[in-house]
């Protein structure tokens, strides 16, 4: 009798959950369709400012070619890199010489109020524009990026992440 009751409760629970799953999955699919693929998201964030269209690099995993009409004007990529607490999602755009044109911190789970400044202070990521692959370290390490005061660790992770993504794009393009 006890077993029957347990099974009954479990069965009802599973049925209810499966029904909820159906509903929420539909919504998730809708959200995913609205957000579009990485190419559409890169376009919306404007990491390569003049790009009107992105096309996946053949054989590449993360890198997208950025086109202004018919001209190849750079590359863009969105990728998860290591942050201080958890993973950071960064979108990076570069010109054909791999000089950074734009960086967006798409999502982060750094310490709220401290590390989260990398996303909240647009001045920080704005520094990346115009920096070549060699300058992608913090100024304290001889690079061209000034860390946010009080959030130097997270700033370092973002900078290292951008360098990592630029490196990956160079690899995939060549």
Pick the stretch among 27-35, 41-49, 60-68, 157-165 that binds another protein (CB under 8 A): 27-35
Binding of residue 140 to another protein (CB under 8 A): no
The nearer residue to another protein, 13 or 72, going by C-beta atoms, is 13
Q: Please list every residue from 66 through 125 that binds another protein, using CB under 8 A.
A: 84, 107, 109, 111-114
Our CB check for another protein shows the closer of 134 and 141 to be 141
Q: DSSP label at 145? A: B
- Say whether residue 33 binds another protein (CB under 8 A): no
CA nearest 163: which of 125, 145, 124, 137?
A: 137
Among 55, 106, 105, CA closest to 76: 55
Binding residue for another protein, selected from 25, 52, 139, 140, defined by CB under 8 A:
25
Q: Does 150 bind another protein (CB under 8 A)?
A: yes
**Shortest distance (Å) from residue 171 CB to another protein:** 19
Are 55 and 46 a contacting pair, CB within 8 Å? no
What is the C-alpha to C-alpha distance for residues 111 and 83, in angstroms, rounded to an integer? 10
Which residues on adjacent β-strands are paired with residue 80? 89
Is 36 an interacting residue with respect to another protein (CB under 8 A)? no
* Residue closer to another protein, measured from CB, 156 or 161: 156
Token duo for residue 96: 């054909």
Q: Residue 64: beta bridge partners?
A: 56, 76
Contacts of 130 (CB under 8 A, 6+ apart): 99, 100, 101
By the criterion CB under 8 A, which residues form the site for another protein?
1-2, 5-6, 9-10, 13-14, 16-17, 20-21, 23-25, 27-28, 31, 84, 107, 109, 111-114, 150, 153
């Amino acid at each position: 009798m006890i077993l029957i009751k347990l099974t009954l409760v479990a069965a009802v629970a599973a049925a209810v959950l499966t029904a909820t799953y159906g509903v929420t999955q539909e919504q998730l699919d809708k959200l995913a369709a609205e957000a579009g693929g990485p190419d559409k998201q890169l376009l919306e964030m404007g990491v390569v400012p003049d790009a009107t269209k992105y096309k996946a690099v053949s054989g590449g995993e993360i890198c997208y070619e950025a086109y202004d009409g018919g001209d190849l004007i750079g590359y863009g990529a969105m990728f998860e890199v290591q942050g201080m607490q958890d993973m950071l999602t960064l979108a990076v755009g570069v010109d054909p010489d791999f000089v950074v044109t734009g960086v967006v911190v798409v999502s982060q789970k750094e310490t709220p109020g401290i590390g989260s400044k990398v996303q909240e202070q647009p001045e920080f990521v704005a520094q990346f524009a115009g920096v070549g692959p060699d300058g992608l370290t913090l100024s304290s390490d001889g690079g061209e990026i000034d860390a946010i005061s009080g959030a130097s660790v997270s700033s370092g992770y973002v900078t290292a992440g951008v360098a990592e993504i630029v490196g990956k794009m160079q690899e995939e393009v060549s």
